């Protein structure tokens, strides 16, 4: 299980920089795969999606 997916999130000009540990790359790729309608996902995969979304939302809030 991934405790913390995104190590840090920052803004560099017009780019958002998310630092993700190398060990978490596979979990992130799995979590970003399209989900068929009605299909279930594991709690671990949902956790990865939630952490990624939270990091992006935090950066978005800083750029307004």
What are the boundaries of each domain within the chain?
6-63
pLDDT digit string, tens, across residues 11-37: 899 998 989 889 888 988 988 888 888
3-state secondary structure 49-62: HHHHHHHHHHHHHH
Write down the pTM of the prediction: 0.73
Q: What percent of the chain has pLDDT over 70?
A: 91
- Residues 22, 12, 32, 3: is their CA dihedral positive or negative? positive
**pLDDT band at 1, cuts 50/70/90?**
very low
């Amino acid at each position: 299980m991934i405790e913390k997916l995104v190590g840090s999130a920052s803004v560099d000009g017009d780019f958002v920089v998310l630092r993700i540990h190398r060990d978490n790359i596979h979990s992130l790729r799995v979590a970003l795969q399209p989900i068929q309608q009605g299909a279930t996902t594991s709690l671990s995969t949902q956790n990865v999606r939630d952490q990624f979304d939270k990091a992006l939302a935090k950066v978005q809030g800083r750029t307004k």
